[in-house]
Amino acid sequence: MTSDSDSEHEVPSKRRKGVRNTDKYKKKNASVNNFGIHNLGENSCTCYVYHEGITRKTPDDVCSFLNHYLLNFVRDKTYKELHLFADNCAGQNKNHALVRFVMALVE
């Protein structure tokens, strides 16, 4: 299974909730992110698309996406091993949160 975050994409927006109303911020476009998980064994891909008002690219978000994927797309299948491949982005993929998440899966 591989996972990766796509680069941020900007989409036009008029106003945002919960953000200070400044002229500079009004002119900025909203950021939309994509986190993809590719199941190499089944050659299937699942994408989690979200905007900056929902969440950001944090280790907790990566763990949440992986947990959702495993519970909803892998849970009923009989796999004996799980191999995770990711790029070297320390802020998202190679960090203590992800290591602890994987350890919790095998306990």
Residue 77: pLDDT band by 50, 70, 90 thresholds? confident
Task: Provide long-range contacts, Cβ within 8 A and 24+ apart, for 40-48.
Answer: 40/1, 40/2, 41/1, 44/73, 46/73
Taking only the tens place, the pLDDT of each residue in 19-43 is: 555 555 556 677 888 889 998 888 9
For residues 70 and 59, give the distance between their C-alpha atoms in angstroms, rounded to a whole number. 16
User: What's the pLDDT score for residue 8?
Assistant: 73
User: Can you give the residue ranges of every domain in the chain?
Assistant: 2-106
